[in-house]
Amino acid sequence: MTKNIPKSEIIKEYIFSTFGVVLTALGLVIFLIPNNIAAGGASGLAIILHSIFSLPVGIWMYIINIILFLIAFLTIGFDFSYKTIYCTFMLNFFIDFFDRIIKIPKYTAGDLMLAIFFGDILTAVGMAITFAQNSSTGGTDIIAKIFNRYFSTPIGTSLLIIDFTIGFLAGVAFDPKVGMYSILAIIINGITIDFVMKGLELAITVTIITDNNKPIANFILKDMGRGFTYLKGKGGYTGKDREIIFVSIRRRELNELIHFVKRVDPNAFVIVNESRYVLGEGFRRSI
């Protein structure tokens, strides 16, 4: 499946995935786990089980994920990328590493809102970075995939129900206040991941109508390293045939392109649109 993907790109994806996993582990170990905030996922379930049986949270996560992967292999087959398996167990490793081996400082001041705020920021940014590399951290995603296969339940809906159930169980295992804070953390985490993902992945499509195509086309190809498409068009007022440039770029590249276009042709007509996903060369390979 990775035959045509450059090795350097694969290595880069694993490096960024690992960085995202480390941030997620830090958010959990420093803020959420010490305050019993079970913000969904395998980590939330592990926090609840830790309160009943004294095994460390990291060990519980190993047990939960191994069981979930075994169930998935038996029910839906090998439907997970190697990167997802790697990230799932690296998250387990780093949680256990930071929790038991090097014992990093933990926030135990008792202000649950602060714990949720900073814990969710770290975990959401980390998970968004991991997701942006076409990866996942497993956990309850596996249950959602099984539900989707056998009951045609949308994965997003299944995840929400599973995570809210874990938040409710936290209220039973600890107290209703912790349960409500756990559900709040789940909601904030989901919103923050979406916000960060939008910033990481948002692409821009630009349509350029100009009488001076050549320098702009050369700039896009040679200076920006982007491909583009010529669209055939005809002026509604002038009736003149023209070639329209259509290009997809990253948001951070937009100002550079607009500045050059306006320098070459101040009268150029430029249309800019935000695109949730762009798949292909220079962008994501899949959703």
> What's the mean pLDDT in 177-192?
93
- Which residues lie closer than 8 Å to 112 by C-beta, 6 or more apart? 35, 37, 177, 178, 181
Distance of CA 215 to the CA centre of its chain: 37
Range of the domain at 174: 7-200
Q: What percent of the chain has pLDDT over 90?
A: 48
Kindly tell me if the per-residue pLDDT of 3 is higher than 60.
Answer: no
Q: Quick: pLDDT tens for 84-107.
A: 889 999 999 999 999 989 989 999
Same domain, 105 and 11: yes
- pLDDT interval class at 276 (50, 70, 90): low
Name the 3-class secondary structure at 217: helix
Are the CB atoms for 65 and 88 separated by under 8 Å? yes
- Cα separation, 14 vs 183, in Å, equals 31
Write down which residue in 200, 228, 263 finishes a domain. Answer: 200
Same domain, 44 and 147: yes
- pLDDT interval class at 154 (50, 70, 90): confident
Q: Quick: pLDDT tens for 195-226.
A: 887 766 667 899 999 988 999 999 898 888 88
> What's the mean pLDDT in 111-140?
88
Write down which residue in 200, 227, 255 finishes a domain. Answer: 200
And the tokens for 256?
């550079």
User: pTM, whole model, 2 decimals?
Assistant: 0.74
Same domain, 172 and 251: no
Same domain, 173 and 238: no
The number of folded domains in the chain is: 2
Q: What percent of the chain has pLDDT over 70?
A: 91
Same domain, 194 and 206: no
In a domain, 35, yes or no: yes
212: domain CATH number is 3.30.70.120
Same domain, 105 and 24: yes
Write down which residue in 171, 200, 229 finishes a domain. Answer: 200
Same domain, 145 and 43: yes
- pLDDT interval class at 155 (50, 70, 90): confident
> What's the mean pLDDT in 231-235?
88
Kindly tell me if the per-residue pLDDT of 287 is higher than 60.
Answer: no
Same domain, 144 and 34: yes
In a domain, 53, yes or no: yes
Name the 3-class secondary structure at 109: coil
- Cα separation, 262 vs 165, in Å, equals 54
In a domain, 253, yes or no: yes
